[in-house]
Amino acid sequence: MEDMTRLELLTLLLSIKALLDSDNVDKAKDLIDEVIAEAKRKGSDQ
């Protein structure tokens, strides 16, 4: 599995924070769910 770079992680967290700050909680949850699903897929690729 390819690890995220610090910049990618920071970008992701800032995106989620911006969604939460603008009351787009459902969009933030969707983004988190996508990241979790991708991490699970990558983890099972090994």
How many angstroms separate the CA atoms of 34 and 7, rounded? 18
pLDDT for 1 equals 45
How many angstroms separate the CA atoms of 37 and 41, rounded? 6
SS3 17: helix
Note the pLDDT tens digit of each residue in 12-38.
Answer: 999 999 999 999 999 999 999 999 998
Stated pTM of the model? 0.79
Amino acid (one-letter) located at 18:
A
How many angstroms separate the CA atoms of 9 and 46, rounded? 21
Task: Output 43 or 6, whichever has higher pLDDT.
Answer: 6
Count CB atoms within 10 A of the CB of residue 23.
9
